[in-house]
Structure 1
Amino acid sequence: MPDGHAPRARREPAEDGTGLGDAEAGLTVGRTAELVGVSVRTLHHWDALGLVCPSARTWAGYRLYGRADVARLQQVLVYRELGMSLERIGDLLDAPEADVAEQLRSQHDLLADRIARLQAMKSAVEQMMEVETMEKKLTPEQQAEVLGSNWNPEWHYEAEERWGATDEWAEAEGRKAQMGRSDWEQVKQEAEALEADLAAAKRRGVEPGSEEASALAERHRESIGQWFEVSRAKHVLIARGYTEDPRFREHYDTREAGLAAWLREVIEAEARAHGVDPETAEWE
């Protein structure tokens, strides 16, 4: 076949023009996309990857998805919701020893865990709403007053525009909503102490991967972890911004020349020591 797929069984299209024949004919790409809640473009992409391929075609060559195809699509959607890569999903679904019942149990457990996390986030947002009515939450401008001249309140709005729809943003905002001025002053003191220690270690020639550098990398990861859960893979991706974003680079390099690049090396070395390849790290 021109598209690289094995020949499909031919089905006669329905007279109503939907592309459906008898009950076994299957669903057109458009109807399937509507049914499972994804775009037609996504279905074409997954077909091209060999992840979920329509099992039949009409006499005119239109793709048709059967019951088994739709069931596989639903499995893909569950795994995608859990943050798995398409490659990993394909490996799971195509494993020769795959046990369907076991896969369903696993999906059920993973979804239960995600529901529990979402419930916790929902509670955090509700707390944030409650605190908001008490006017306890500091505005970005008030936060800047506490954090000092190194903090620009515009960064908050820029980050909200970019990350506002993510779980991490909701979790961080839920925590910030419960913080008063004294909490923010403590955040400032701890951040300044950490950056001072980082700069001192850089000046002393501490090597990335050393015991001292690893301890500093962990302190740095924990400092971000006060806002949301930070895996070592996430830490690596965040650290890229320290050298790629001129504002971050200037912030660190003002403390000590070359500190931004050194800190990124320290974080990447710590990640490698725990089995994370910085070159292939993913936000998970």
Structure 2
Amino acid sequence: MATVAKRNGPYRVGEVATLTRVSVRTLHHYDRIGLLRPTARSDAGYRLYAGADLLRLQQILTLRYLGFPLARIGELLDRPDFDLVAALRIQRRILADRVGELGRIDAAIGDLLARREATGDWDWTLAARASEEVGRGLERKKDEMDKLYTPAQMERFAALGTEIPKEEIAAIEQGWTALLAEVRAAREGGLAPASAEARTLADRWDELTERTASHYRNDPELWQAIGANHDRGAFEGHDRAPQAGDFAFIEEVKRAR
């Protein structure tokens, strides 16, 4: 029998697992590491989750889908200035980009299957188009880079990619993804530039910028090329890159110190 959602709980761990399709084992793990602790326990010691716990679980799952590590998710959700509404709006924008790309891939594969079912034969033109859509998704980032940098600069990017440990690259990318989400939530939530929370964001911005720049110490020309592309707005509309509004907010915070 299906579990019926109650407005504000309480829910036992099995009910949460049924409602969300998250295993009991995973919920127990989140509890153990402090990521999702139940609001209460019954007299018999059973975990009891409130409606707010389900909202937090939704955030955990969405951020995991977007590539955030569990430790960073916990830090984000536990920040006193975390704005759930602003965070959900940002996540919708990021997901909308992925949905559009996945929709095009799905349509191409669907056409290929429909032709096979209708004729009994594979249409290699449609097969090629399906491959093209998948390849386009894989190459989107590279294509964007090719438009912004010279072949020589792209070769230097490739060389850097072999010199910098993959763990460091992943940490920097995840750091920017998390920080940009928080900065945009702060902007949309009207966070005062003079507030302590805003100053913390600006400090983290400077630290992450320095960490990123440190890998370009031996190639200042390439670092300048990145800055020039930002200055001319080449990355506007790309949610994964800092936008003019993000830079403006950080500068406003620094002026307010």
TM range (shorter): 0.3 to 0.5
Structure having greater relative contact order (Cα 8 Å, sep ≥ 6): 2
Larger Rg: 1 or 2? 1
Normalising by structure 1, report the TM-score.
0.43
Structure (1 or 2) with the greater helix fraction: 2
